[in-house]
Structures are given as structure tokens and as C-alpha cells.
């Protein structure tokens, strides 16, 4: 029955039905079928209302609309423009300066917005015309914009890390802490790639001409600091309070929304249309996530009822290479699955099936979740289905060929896969940032209690005469 359920789900998705309703329909169909043929009693489905109620009453999932609203407000408040203009001028004198600025600003925006669409669209609209004007190679320009937007997927406070933490039963704070190392590695890989291009083929990433540079005086530094300091304060308010244990992810997200409103007001962009558009965008994304999660819980309940978990465990536990073979297989599987499914769908459908196998193999689930998150960001860069490429195509001028966007994404996709390999073979890049406390082997613990003090004999006095 489990292979039939998977086949039915793939069939529904290939026909183009929405993932949430496909999951629920396949789950209910095979649930009623399993009752009819006696695989489990009809009382088993009484668990379904409880599971749906647990989803709707999950405080952790409240962080999703908060972080989405924060990103939607910051997307429209002009912060990206200030950061890109100032940083671009700061690096403009060296070959590849604009590309360096896009990567750095993409990381900062990722840390304060948490949404790929906001980063790609903002940077594409601002930096792509400038890169075209000053002779950047089209494939380098489109590739660096799309790739720097996908950093958002890994760098905290990523929405994907919240969902993965919930599905893996791990603390979101631990997921965020574990993602710090890979985030820094990814930024370093992207910067190193541009450095190599600027050395090997400097004509593809020329510096800004002297007439395009502003004087490098205190006004330039003020423009850069004016964009970065509020961003750093907001990052600390959101992430610092989580890491220090002062706030839950939901509370930190609420503070982030307040900070985003303040930043929009400081930039004189706060208006009712801005707030209404941000709230509408937040409502759509939150509703999509909750519906997918409800559909996934219907599917997973029936899947577990027909012993699908045991089937998956037997299928994957005895792969050649043990835990390393399992990780390589899983990452290849998710890499190809990301061609067709959104990252939320992968997190809700696949991760609950893989987590028990990973746990049985002794794999740290926080490290496993961060690794999967890094892999899933490739879904944004896959030609021809990558969402980041779609966003960029939507805002790019007509002179930019779709072929250049797709071919420009390939080197950056290779760098993302290189990061996956680094994290697999260097787990400390994730676990180093985790505070696991002192490691104690329970078998070595000796409890030595002193003997009780001797009690002197006392004459027995009868209670009743």
C-alpha cells in the first residue's frame, strides 16, 4: 500500500492539482480503502481531527506569518535601495565591485526579510540595469542576483528552518544556530567565485568608470551606515533574542514586525497601501502553508497506518555506505524532487518520512535539517523551474535573454551543491555553533549515598489502652 500511495500522489501532482488538496485526497482515498480491506480499523481515522487541531494551535507556526509580514514590509520600505547604492559605490572602484555588493546586500536582506522573492526582485530592479549599463557579462549579472537572493533560504531567520524544526521536532533556535556556519561558507564561496572571475576574466566584471563614482568622503560612509546600522539592530532584535533565550521565535517575529514598521517610518515609506499589500501577501503565504500542512498530515497519518514508515526505514536503512550512503541518496533524491515541488511541499511530505531513518542511523537531526535546507535552496536555481529565475525573468528588461538567465544560474547551482558536499563531510560546520552542554555517559555515573544514621531503640508506647 505505501508504494501505491506514493504513486497516486505523484500522479495527482503531474496532473497539476494543488499539492495541499492532492495530499488530502490521496490520504483519504487510501484511508477508506485500507479500512475496507482491513489494514486498520475505522477508529484509526479518529486521530485526524486531533492532528489538524494540533496544527492550528501550534504556537511555533505563528512565527511564519510574523516573519513573512516583516519581510513584506521591508521589501517595500526602500532599505534595499539604500544598501545597494551605498555598498555598490563602496566597492565600485575594483573589478566585480557591483557583484560583491549584490552578494553582501543579499545576505543582509536575507537576514532581515527571510524571503527569496523580496531579495531577488529588489536587487534585480536596482542592480541589473546598472550592471548592464557598465558592461557586465549578462550571465554573471543575472546569476549573481538570483544566487544572492537564495542565500535567504539558509540564513536565519529563514522560514524553511522554522518548518524543518517543527517537522524534525527540534528547537528553532538550534536550527538557526546550526545554519550560521553554512551561511557564512556560502557567502564566502560566492565572493570567492567573483574574485576568481575578476582575476581570470576582468572584462566580464568591470569596475565602475570614474564619472560614475561619488566622492569617497563622509557622505558615502553615512549612506552605507544609514542602511546597515538599522539592519544590524533589527537582526540582533530578531536573532539575538532567540539565541540568548530571551524570546521564542514567535515573539522574536512579532518584534521583527514592529522593527520593520519603524524602519519603514524612518524611510518615510510607511503608508496604508504598503501595509495592506504586505498583509495580503502574508495571508496568502500563511494560508498556503497551513493548507499544505493539513493535507500532509492526512497523507502521513494514513501512510503510517499502513506501515509506510517501516517500508521507508527498510528501504533506506541498508543502503551501501551506512549513514553517508543514506545522506548521499537523500540529497540526490531531494535535488531532483526540487525540480517539481516547492520547498514547503518537500518539507511537509518527505521530511517526516526521512527523520525516523536518520535518527535510527545516529544522525544529528539539527545537522540533518540544515543540510536538507541547503539542498532545498537549489530548487530556486534549477533551470528551467527555479523560482528565483522566474522572479528575475519577470523584472528583467527585454534585452536580457531567458537563455542567459538559465545558463548564468548553472555555476551558482554548482557552488550550492559544493556547499552540500562540504556540510556532509565536515559536520562541524553546523554542530560547532550548537550549545549541546556537557556530554555525560550515563554508564559512568556513580551515585554514592551515605548510609542512613542509626536510630536508637525506643520503647513501644501503645496508642490505645
Q: Do 243 and 303 belong to one domain?
A: no
Question: Of 19-33, 180-194, 342-356, which has the strongest mean pLDDT?
Answer: 180-194
* pLDDT grade for 133, boundaries at 50, 70 and 90: confident
**Once rounded to an integer, what is the mean pLDDT over residues 419-446?**
74
Please tell me the least confidently modeled range out of 279-288, 366-375, 416-425, 445-454. 445-454
Q: Do 46 and 182 belong to one domain?
A: no
**Once rounded to an integer, what is the mean pLDDT over residues 205-228?**
72
What pLDDT, on the 0 to 100 scale, is given for residue 313? 72
Q: Do 227 and 271 belong to one domain?
A: yes
Give tens-digit pLDDT for 310-327: 777 777 767 777 777 888
User: Does 422 reside within a domain?
Assistant: yes
User: Does 28 reside within a domain?
Assistant: yes
How many folded domains does the chain comprise?
2
pTM recorded for the entire structure: 0.74
Q: What percent of the chain has pLDDT over 70?
A: 86
User: Does 270 reside within a domain?
Assistant: yes
Q: Do 307 and 233 belong to one domain?
A: no
More confident residue, 297 or 386: 297
User: Does 350 reside within a domain?
Assistant: yes
User: Does 456 reside within a domain?
Assistant: no
Segments forming the whole domain that contains residue 317: 2-58+293-360
User: Does 460 reside within a domain?
Assistant: no
Residue 9 makes CB contacts below 8 A (sequence gap 6+) with 22, 23, 26, 299, 349
Q: Do 421 and 307 belong to one domain?
A: no
Give tens-digit pLDDT for 142-179: 888 888 888 878 888 777 888 888 888 888 888 888 88
Q: Do 179 and 302 belong to one domain?
A: no
User: Does 425 reside within a domain?
Assistant: yes
More confident residue, 269 or 298: 298
Amino acid at each position: 500500500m505505501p508504494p501505491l500511495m506514493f504513486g497516486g500522489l505523484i500522479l495527482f501532482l503531474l496532473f497539476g492539482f494543488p499539492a495541499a488538496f492532492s495530499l488530502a485526497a490521496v490520504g483519504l482515498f487510501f484511508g477508506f480503502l485500507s479500512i475496507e480491506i482491513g489494514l486498520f480499523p475505522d477508529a484509526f481515522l479518529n486521530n485526524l481531527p486531533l492532528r489538524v487541531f494540533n496544527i492550528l494551535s501550534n504556537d511555533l507556526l505563528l512565527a511564519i506569518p510574523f516573519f513573512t509580514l516583516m519581510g513584506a514590509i521591508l521589501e517595500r520600505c526602500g532599505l534595499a535601495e539604500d544598501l545597494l547604492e551605498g555598498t555598490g559605490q563602496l566597492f565600485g572602484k575594483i573589478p566585480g565591485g557591483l557583484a560583491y555588493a549584490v552578494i553582501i546586500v543579499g545576505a543582509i536582506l536575507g537576514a532581515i526579510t527571510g524571503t527569496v522573492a523580496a531579495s531577488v526582485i529588489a536587487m534585480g530592479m536596482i542592480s541589473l540595469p546598472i550592471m548592464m549599463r557598465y558592461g557586465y557579462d549578462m550571465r554573471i549579472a543575472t546569476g549573481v542576483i538570483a544566487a544572492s537572493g537564495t542565500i535567504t533560504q539558509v540564513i536565519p531567520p529563514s522560514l524553511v528552518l522554522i518548518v524543518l524544526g517543527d517537522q524534525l521536532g527540534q528547537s528553532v533556535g538550534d536550527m538557526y544556530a546550526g545554519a550560521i556556519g553554512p551561511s557564512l561558507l556560502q557567502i564566502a564561496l560566492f565572493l570567492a567565485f567573483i574574485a576568481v572571475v575578476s582575476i581570470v576574466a576582468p572584462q566580464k566584471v568591470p569596475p565602475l568608470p570614474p564619472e560614475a563614482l561619488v566622492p569617497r568622503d563622509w557622505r558615502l560612509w553615512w549612506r552605507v551606515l544609514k542602511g546597515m546600522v538599522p539592519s544590524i539592530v533589527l537582526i540582533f532584535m530578531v536573532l539575538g533574542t532567540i539565541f540568548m533565550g530571551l524570546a521564542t521565535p514567535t515573539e522574536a517575529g512579532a518584534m521583527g514586525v514592529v522593527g520593520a514598521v519603524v524602519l519603514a517610518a524612518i524611510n518615510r515609506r510607511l503608508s496604508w497601501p504598503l501595509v495592506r499589500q504586505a498583509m495580503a501577501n502574508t495571508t496568502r503565504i500563511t494560508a498556503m502553508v497551513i493548507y499544505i500542512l493539513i493535507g500532509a498530515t492526512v497523507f502521513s497519518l494514513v501512510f503510517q497506518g499502513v506501515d509506510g514508515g517501516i517500508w521507508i526505514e527498510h528501504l533506506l536503512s541498508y543502503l551501501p555506505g551506512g549513514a553517508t550512503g543514506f545522506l548521499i541518496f537523500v540529497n540526490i533524491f531531494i535535488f531532483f524532487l526540487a525540480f517539481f515541488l516547492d520547498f514547503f511541499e518537500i518539507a511537509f511530505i518527505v521530511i517526516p518520512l526521512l527523520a525516523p531513518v536518520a535518527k535510527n542511523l545516529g544522525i544529528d537531526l539539527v545537522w540533518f535539517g540544515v543540510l536538507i535546507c541547503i539542498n532545498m535552496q537549489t530548487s530556486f536555481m534549477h533551470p528551467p523551474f527555479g523560482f528565483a529565475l522566474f522572479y528575475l525573468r519577470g523584472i528583467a528588461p527585454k534585452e536580457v535573454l531567458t537563455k542567459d538567465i538559465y545558463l548564468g544560474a548553472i555555476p551558482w547551482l554548482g557552488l550550492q551543491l559544493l556547499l552540500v558536499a562540504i556540510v556532509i563531510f565536515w559536520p562541524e560546520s553546523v554542530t560547532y555553533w550548537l550549545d549541546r552542554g556537557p556530554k555525560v555517559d550515563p554508564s559512568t555515573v556513580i551515585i554514592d549515598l551515605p548510609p542512613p544514621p542509626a536510630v536508637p531503640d525506643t520503647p513501644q508506647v501503645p496508642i490505645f489502652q
